Amino acid sequence: FTRADFVSLHCPLTPATRGLVGDRVLWQMKRGACLINCARGGIIDRPALERALFAGHLGGVGLDTYWEEPWQPKDPLYQRDNVVCLPHIGGSTEEAFVRIAAVVVENVGRQRRGEPLLHRLA
């Protein structure tokens, strides 16, 4: 965080990661650095983010996920020139779709053979 020009978040929201990026982390970032959140909104402490952003410490923020769903496009935070907002499509790449298709094909075969499915959560 202290040397990076860009920090991109890609982790699950868990009790351990909720609010992980708060005042301490944000103010340790290099002045003018950009923070990108492709994970979950709750990983960043929003009031801390606003303090660092509005004070000019952060150069910008890229958000692909939000604190509330559905997100509110008219929220003043999202209207700032140094905030870029996406509709949670940061992971929608050609490579991701190829991998998803491969897992689906594999799981269809596993289901037909009575084998455990890949990546099953419950």
Residue 61 pairs with which residues in a beta bridge? 35, 83
Asked whether the beta carbons of 39 and 12 are under 8 A apart, the reply is: yes
The owner of tokens 């920090």 is: 7
Q: What's at 19, amino acid-wise?
A: G
Query: What CA–CA distance (Å, rounded) separates 23 from 14?
Result: 19
Catalytic residues: 40, 69, 88
Q: Which amino acid type is present at position 106?
A: E
35 class by beta-carbon count within 10 Å (0-12 exposed, 13-18 middle, 19+ buried): buried
